[in-house]
Copies of this chain bind each other. A is one copy, B any other.
């Protein structure tokens, strides 16, 4: 997240003062990319920037926050989908959440412009400030409470992590017969597009939707991998229940 977010800010006219990372290599690479300073000290001097975005793994925040040496007017933001805004509540600084709802990998560029930013703030004045900041890099800014963000993060685990894992199952099923995964690319794209334009509810098709038990049994027999058999059985049962009850 830090990798992509810093570049989005730098490319949209913001001055990024310094990149901090425990891993000096990461800090340097990112700082070089956006032509700024870097440090692997957590944190050597008092930080006097207008904003400090703390962008670390969830279980590092609790240890890190009490140790921060920052000017009392610096706005503190975290970028986590699952942590409450209250992790900052012991500080007297203004604080908030800036959660970009997207999947990030270093080797895949992203366009922040269309990424939903879920924001939350310690007070109204701070909210306006975070909103202004967010509007500069994205067209899609949502006011989202910590409890709503928790739900969104959970839904995102389904729509991203689980969907991607299902893709990898289909890739393995094909590669076991030396069939290239690219044959599924147009289906994957259209499936995503249909869910967006029609809704997943209306876009559902397939043997389970039709309660076609002959094909379902044939497929389960065909699967050699027991993990895939379990997924096939569970999801088909749920789809049958959902659509045959109507």
Contacts and interface: CB of A to CB of B under 8 A. Distances in A.
Interface of A: 58-59, 82, 101-105, 107-108, 110, 114-116, 118, 140, 142, 144, 147-148, 150-152, 154-171, 173-174, 176-177, 179, 181, 183-209, 212, 214-215, 218-219, 222-223, 227-228, 230-232, 234-235, 238-239, 241-242
A14 B188 CA distance: 29
B196 A165 contact: no
Contacts of A165: 200, 204, 208, 235, 238-239
Given A116-B183, A142-B183, A215-B58, A204 B164 contact: yes
- The interface residues of chain A, by DSSP majority, are classed as helix
* Total identical chains: 2
B161 A174 contact: no
Given A183-B142, A219-B154, A207 B161 contact: yes
